[in-house]
Structure 1
Amino acid sequence: MIGQYNSNSIYSDGYHYNPQEPLYFMSFASQKNSINLYHSGIYEMLKIYDWFVNEDPKHCFRKLDIGKSCICYKKMEDISFNLIAELSKKNTVKE
């Protein structure tokens, strides 16, 4: 999985199950039937989730497949990298 990971030093004790491993902020994973984008901001901040849900139909003709922090794409062609670039600017790790 390709991702942006962050130091545990900015999170409180007990936040993560293994304090020796960094926490991810945003990452991509290729699964058997989909390409998944994981973004902590969507999970943690409702305003970012709502923004993404409203913006996605403007960039992709397929129905949005989204979970708590996971956005699933069936094909590489479905991914709007411009929208993901905007998403990545919506919040910082400390937020």
Structure 2
Amino acid sequence: MPGNINTPQAYIAQLEPARQVPFLRIWHILQQYIPKGFQEQLSYGMPGFVVPHTLYPAGYHADPKLPLPFASLAAQKNYISLYYMGFMDETVLEWFAQQWEQMTGKQPDIGKCCLRFKKTTPVPDALLAQLAAKLTPEQWIGVYEKGLGR
């Protein structure tokens, strides 16, 4: 990735056109449905949404200078990854997996907090919209702090 990538728009612009289309489809859903309070920015080298320090001064525990990450989207070599930290909440993860399976007939390709979209993955836009809107910044902070044992 070129070193002059410092905004979500620059990240997207450097993608080859065939990868921009599916990437933008998911990115636009996130932009439209992520609740107010999250801030759009390049986070860990990927377009994403964070809880700004104005809402959560403690920042990310691994590096408190960084805002608390929430969701990021990355174009990997063979797939697109949605890093959705809200999956730390088991009820959100279980709800999503069940809904995905009902809508697609398949289980989602999910890692810890990573949902992978391969070329053949059906993307249920309405479900992604519901997922994006599922947690407010305050709810996400609560899930995050619970996970840290605070």
Give the TM-score category using the shorter length.
0.7 to 0.9
Correspondences of 1:1-95 after superposition (within 5 Å): 1-11=46-56, 13=58, 15-43=60-88, 45-75=89-119, 78-95=122-139
Structure 2 length normalisation: TM-score?
0.54
- Paired residues, number: 94
CA change 1:51–1:3 in 2 (3 A) is same
The Cα shift of 1:8 comes to 3.0
- The one-letter amino acid paired with 2:123 is I
| Length-normalised TM-score, structure 1 | 0.80
Structure 1 counterpart of 2:5:
none
Report the Cα offset of residue 10 of structure 1. Answer: 3.7
| Richer in helix (by share) | 2
Is residue 60–residue 67 contact of structure 2 (8 Å, CA) maintained in 1? no
Cα distance change, pair 84–76 in 1 and its aligned pair in 2 (3 A): farther
Greater share of strand: 1
Q: How many percent of aligned residue pairs carry the same amino acid?
A: 35
The residue identity in structure 1 corresponding to 2:132 is S
When structure 1 is superposed on structure 2, of 15-24 and 5-14 the one drifting more is 5-14
* Unaligned segments of structure 2, at least 5 residues: 1-45, 140-150
- Once superposed, what is the RMSD of the aligned Cα atoms? 2.1
Distance in 1 separating the partners of 2:120 and 2:48: 17
